[in-house]
């Protein structure tokens, strides 16, 4: 008689629920918090800084306290409302990560382009509890930025001429519009090219956009008010 062989008594193995993809993603960034050299901060759901690493405090805060300040105090963007809407989507859980090109206001009052990445954090809850923000400077722009590329670098007349150049207006057209001589227009253009280290008009416009002197995403071109004396 054949003896029945009992089936092995397998025990059910239960694995602990792992963190959500967003949580794992956030933890990966958080591990770089103090040693990356990149500006990193956590903000609450009102987008106020809760904690910031040394790079963030040094580059963006300077001698001022960074804790409790709104993230947008440190940024310049032509459409902050668009970025705010992206953060709302992040907070509501409709996305786990956002990325945006922005202009960061460095502690020495110099605007430089940077890549902003924000990741939602969930602390043992399906709801977003805070947001991890990383701001990485465009080093090539930082190295080539003009030494005088700081606030209040242009006169009102400089700004109007630069806006005209960005629109593609000729020297003759600019002179007629602004009641200047052709030589006067050329003098102001040459002065701005020297300040921004641009070899020609096309480079002047390109450099002005990259440094935030001309507001991105706006037509007709507009010089950011903080650069006008």
pLDDT class of 5 with cuts at 50, 70, 90: very low
The answer on pLDDT for 192 being more than 60 is: yes
| Contact assessment for residue 29 and residue 119, using Cβ atoms and an 8 Å cutoff | yes
- The CATH homologous superfamily of the domain defined by 21-143: PAS domain (3.30.450.20)
Q: Where are the domains of the chain?
A: 21-143, 156-227
How many angstroms separate the CA atoms of 225 and 47, rounded? 25
Both structure tokens of 187: 């003098």
Q: Give yes or no for residue 102 having a pLDDT over 80.
A: yes
pLDDT, tens digit (0-9, with 9 covering 90-100), for 153-184: 788 999 999 999 999 999 999 999 999 899 98
Which pair of tokens denotes residue 123? 């602390």
> Which tens digits make up the pLDDT trace of 8-64?
443 443 434 555 555 555 555 555 555 667 899 999 999 999 999 988 988 887 777
What is the signed CA dihedral for 207, 209, 214, 220, rounded to 10 degrees?
120
> What distance in Å separates the CA atoms of residue 24 and residue 13, rounded to the nearest whole number?
23
Question: Hey, what CATH class is 156-227 in?
Answer: mainly alpha
pLDDT at 144 over 50: no
The residues near 96 (Cβ < 8 Å, ≥ 6 apart) are 21, 22, 25, 90, 119, 120
Q: Judge whether residue 208 has pLDDT over 60.
A: yes
Using DSSP, state whether 175 is helix, strand or coil: helix
What is the DSSP code (8-state) at residue 58? I
Is 90 exceeded by the pLDDT of residue 147?
Answer: no
Q: Is the pLDDT of residue 91 over 50?
A: yes
Longest dimension (CA), the chain: 117
Which pTM was predicted?
0.53
């Amino acid at each position: 008689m054949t003896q029945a062989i009992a089936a092995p008594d397998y025990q059910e193995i239960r694995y602990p629920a792992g963190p959500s993809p967003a949580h794992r993603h956030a933890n990966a960034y958080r591990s770089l918090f103090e040693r990356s050299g990149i500006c990193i901060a956590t903000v609450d759901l009102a987008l106020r800084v809760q904690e910031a690493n040394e790079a963030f405090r040094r580059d963006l805060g300077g001698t001022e306290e960074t804790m409790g300040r709104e993230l947008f105090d440190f940024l310049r963007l032509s459409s902050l409302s668009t970025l705010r809407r992206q953060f709302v989507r992040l907070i509501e859980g409709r996305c786990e990560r956002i990325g945006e090109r922005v202009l960061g206001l460095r502690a020495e009052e110099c605007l430089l382009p940077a890549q902003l990445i924000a990741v939602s954090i969930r602390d043992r809850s399906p709801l977003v509890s805070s947001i991890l923000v990383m701001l990485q400077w465009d080093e090539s722009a930082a190295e080539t930025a003009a030494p005088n590329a700081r606030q209040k670098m242009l006169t009102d007349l400089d700004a109007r001429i630069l806006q005209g150049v960005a629109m593609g207006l000729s020297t003759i057209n600019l002179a007629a519009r602004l009641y200047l001589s052709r030589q006067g227009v050329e003098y102001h253009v040459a002065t701005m090219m020297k300040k921004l280290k641009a070899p020609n008009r096309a480079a002047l416009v390109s450099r002005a956009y990259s440094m935030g002197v001309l507001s991105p995403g706006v037509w007709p071109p507009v010089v950011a008010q903080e650069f006008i004396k």
